[in-house]
Amino acid sequence: MSELVTGEAVALELRPAKLPSRALAVLIDLAVAFVAYLAVTFGIIASTSSLDDAAAAAVAVASFVLVLVGVPIAVETLSHGRSLGKLACGLRVVRDDGGPIRFRHALVRGAVGVVEILMTFGVVACIASLVSARGRRLGDVFAGTLVVRERVPAGRAAFVPPPPPWLAGRFAELDLSGVPEGLWLAIRQYLTRMGQLDPQVGGAMAERLAGDLAERTGAPAPYGVPAAAYLAAVVHERQARDARRAFGGAGAEAEARGELGSRSGYGDRYGYGYGTEAVDSPVATGTSGASGASGATGASGATGAFGGGPAPRVRESGSDESGAREAPPATGFVPPA
């Protein structure tokens, strides 16, 4: 495993792909590209049989460059580092900082790959991958990329702590389309590692990530909500939307959110900086401003720290406003006089 520290001091656990899996992915890509090249070549020959030898050779070279170089570069760019072979082997090409690659990265990888894979039958690429501590070939070194494993065993997957129950579903209408994948990755890595960070460093990091996320979504964290809790709530909202798209129905959303309403002690357990007990039906008690379980205050009319309204006034059963006790209401059947 390779550990990388980003500019936000978040440690990213990258799992570089081994040489056998990379070689298998390259063989799959080459097999598909070779079949496509033969199909394109035969089609061009059949349609340009009247051309002379020089023109036919030029067309053959153009089809070779297009199918074996241009198409892989386009596929890696559009899929953010996942060709057909890498998809089959559970691999992905990422930048050195863990972010998704762009066209320039795919272009450099493809151009260098012509020399170290196609022209040398992969010998140079294998030697470079064996020498590199992170298994990178020359194309990865020049492009600043790394091939990592996407498939992680379920038992070793990092656990993202759930948000507090009173934040579940609060960001259901939030627009998350403008948040880049690199920011999502940094937030998830922070949430999985925040228990190992110094409190001051972790707090500053959470504030910075929350500010970046609020700038992308246009919705800052609610007043009084810790930055870490805000990040966890937005991440779980995105996971809930992904679950709805993948499986559909409200059950998938509830499963993605982990049925948060029945859990308690989130502040102490997950390090959000507060201790809040989760209850199914929060009821504020008291008549002189005593704080209720959900953060709402008592009958004095003050609102809670997170936007809760005034608590309902509780009157003792059997008494009126002046304090005099009322006779209990008659119940049951009363016979006529």
Q: Are residues 100 and 212 in the same domain?
A: no
Instruction: List the single range of 73-82, 171-180, 197-206, 328-337 with lowest mean pLDDT.
Output: 328-337
Q: What's the Cα-to-Cα distance from 279 to each of 19, 72, 223, rounded to whole Å?
A: 52, 54, 22
More confident of the two residues 180 and 327: 180
Q: Are residues 230 and 252 in the same domain?
A: yes
More confident of the two residues 16 and 153: 16
Residues spanned by the domain of 143? 2-154
Q: Are residues 137 and 180 in the same domain?
A: no
What CA–CA distance (Å, rounded) separates 48 from 263? 71
Q: Tell which residue, 319, 290, 323, 316, has the closest CA to residue 300.
A: 290
Q: Mind giving me the DSSP string for 114-146?
A: IIIIIITTTHHHHHHHHHSTT---HHHHHHTEE
Strands (E), the chain: 2-5, 11-14, 91-95, 145-149
Give the pLDDT score at 264.
36
Q: Are residues 76 and 208 in the same domain?
A: no
The pTM (predicted TM-score) of the whole model is 0.47
Q: Are residues 48 and 174 in the same domain?
A: no
pLDDT digits (tens, 9 = 90+) for 160-175: 677 777 777 778 888 8
Query: Does some domain include residue 206?
Result: yes
Choose the final residue of a domain: 154, 183, 207.
154
Give the pLDDT score at 300.
35
User: What's the whole-number average pLDDT of the chain?
Assistant: 72
Q: Does residue 177 register a pLDDT over 80?
A: yes
Choose the final residue of a domain: 270, 295, 330.
270
